Amino acid sequence: MDTPKVYKNFINGEWVESQSGRVYENRSPADTKDLVGIFPQSDARDTTLAVEAAAEAFRRWRLVPAPRRAEILFRAAQMLQERKDAFAVGMTREMGKILTETRGDVQEAIDMAYFMAGEGRRLYGQTVPAEMPNKFAMSVRMPLGVCGLITPWNFPMAIPSWKILPALICGNTVVIKPATDTPLSCANLVQTLADAGIPRGVVNLVVGSGAEVGEALLAHPYVRMISFTGSTAVGRRISEACAPSFKHSTLEMGGKNVILVMDDADLDLAVEGALWGAFGTTGQRCTASSRLVVDKRVYHEFLDRFEECVRRIRIGNGLDPTTQMGPLINQSQLRTVQEYVQIGTQEGARLVSGGNTLDDPDHACGFFHEPTVFAEVSPRMRIAQEEIFGPVVSVIPCDGLDSAVEIGNGISYGLSASIYTQDINRAFAAMREMYTGIFYVNAPTIGAEIHLPFGGTKETGNGHREAGTAALDTYSEWKAIYIDYSGKLQRAQIDL
């Protein structure tokens, strides 16, 4: 067997070993015999070195004109295009999702790099008329400083790009802690930025656990903001940790997303969308369509068609081009899915498809679970309320649009929702009534594009958005500027 590659942290422009010297193995969730690489188990000492490097680099980077910063991002986008297929293969090995999906993950990073490069020649403020004569008023953006970024494993290059690139174009420096399950893809992104010409210390990567690296980022006084994507429980802990020192925080957390299928829906299209929404990325998306609320008048017809298609999904290693659904990320996530299947059965939902792990010879070395469908689900059941983050979907009957909307909104999350209908009036009514950050018509709850804001309401987020120009507000602060050229004291609101 080939000697596994040993990866390091990226601190102050160099790949360096962790201070502890400890390492861990990153193995494929589809085949645990496949050793993707050896990665450092970093601790607070590594985090401190990275933060100090970022703080020193910030003094210079913030003064680089934004169009010059943008040129580096543009070169990085071009390099990512050239490396797309290789990076996708590496991502499939470490994360498990199929190659078509990992290519899309890399493409999101490419799109974000080009988009943020364009913002380097905008970063618009406002110029407004002053209320006093011979006075000029305007606003400009200021960078925050050192940004601590904590990213999940399900989109291991796309989500880091959503955080790193807008932070850089605004003039910040960053320290990123990728998920320990998927550090390779983030390392590939960071190496590409370095190859594109990012100065020393501007981008730093520290691989390690949340308990050691993440907590150290939260505690360090030089870190002025934390951007986190992950569970609501961890997001709450981060919000509390940031509050005493008034660190900015942007939190993108859980979801329990719904597709509303009306009685006039194109059922073939709705079934196709529900399959992709529920089982794309093995259901391991914050936007996954884990609830299907279907009008009783088409409920059984929809369920029969849906079940038939679910049974035909091909499960296996994502490197196989015939595979349609890959493994879960690790043993812990597989165990969580198994537990929720038991919960759904105990609650009285009817298991109509799936429900089992796969341990036959073709799947024995990975964390595979069948795509699973529960029918006759009550809206208050745990499987209809709690985020499972796996290939489990609840099909819930409803009595028309008002009933569907009430069920759809009746959860603690508010990320994404969709409706399948041919009635434009229904579509617009649902668009207005669903309290979510993202809404689709005649499409599943997944598939956001990088030039629009991404994020949710209620326990999904804390009011900020990622992607699009909304991300610029996350990584900058406004400064209002007044220039008085009257040659005398003018007291606003008083001398009018």
CA distance 114 to 121: 12
Active site residues: 252, 286
CB 30 within 8 A of CB 366: yes
CB distance 395 to 310 below 8 Å = no
Percent of the chain exceeding pLDDT 70 equals: 100
Strand pairing category for 203-205 and 223-229? unpaired
At 48, which helix (H) or strand (E)? helix 44-61
0.85 surpassed by pTM? yes
Q: Where are the beta strands (DSSP E) in 296-387?
A: 350-353, 372-375
Residue 209: which of 183, 241, 235 has the closest Cα? 183
Q: Which of 328, 318, 315 is nearest to 288 (CA)?
A: 328
Quick one: CA torsion of 266, 268, 270, 276, rounded to 10 degrees? -160
CB 390 within 8 A of CB 328: yes
| DSSP codes of every residue in 397-433 | EESHHHHHHHHHH-SSEESEEEEE-S-HHHHHHHHHH
Element (H, E) at 356: none
Check residue 195 and give left, alpha or beta (phi > 0: left; psi -120 to 50: alpha).
alpha
Average pLDDT over residues 442-456: 97
Q: Write the pLDDT tens digit of every residue in 242-259.
A: 999 999 999 999 999 999
What the block records as the tokens of 432 is 């207005």
Any residues with CB less than 8 A from the CB of 357 and at least 6 apart, and which?
334, 338, 368, 369, 370
Q: Among 86, 231, 97, which Cα is nearest to 152's?
A: 231
Give the pLDDT confidence of 139-153 residue by residue, as tens digits: 999 999 999 999 999
d(CA 317, CA 96): 7
Q: Measured between alpha carbons, how far is 340 from 390 in angstroms, rounded to an integer?
A: 10
pLDDT band for 3, please (50, 70, 90 cuts).
confident
**Regarding beta strands 146-150 and 173-177, do their DSSP bridges make them parallel or antiparallel, or are they unpaired?**
parallel
pLDDT band of 1, cuts 50, 70, 90: low
Q: What gap in Å lies between CA 214 and CA 229, rounded to an integer?
A: 12
2 Cβ neighbours under 8 A, 6+ residues apart: none
Contact 120, 66 (CB under 8 A): yes
Q: pLDDT digit string (tens) for 405-420?
A: 999 999 999 999 999 9
List, edge to edge, every strand of the sheet that includes 248-252. 14-16, 9-11, 203-205, 173-177, 146-150, 223-229, 248-252
- Backbone phi, then psi, for 311, in 5-degree steps? -65, -20
Nearest to 417 by CA among 377, 301, 406: 406
Identity (one letter) of the amino acid at 391?
Answer: P
463-484: pLDDT as tens digits: 999 999 999 999 999 999 999 9
- Encode pLDDT of 105-154 as tens digits: 999 999 999 999 999 999 999 999 999 999 999 999 999 999 999 999 99
What is the number of H-type helices and E-type strands within the chain?
14, 21
Instruction: List, in order of start, the domains of the chain with CATH numbers.
Output: 9-253+461-480 (3.40.605.10), 258-441 (3.40.309.10)
pLDDT of amino acid 4 = 86
Q: Express each pLDDT in 360-397 by its tens digit.
A: 999 999 999 999 999 999 999 999 999 999 999 999 99
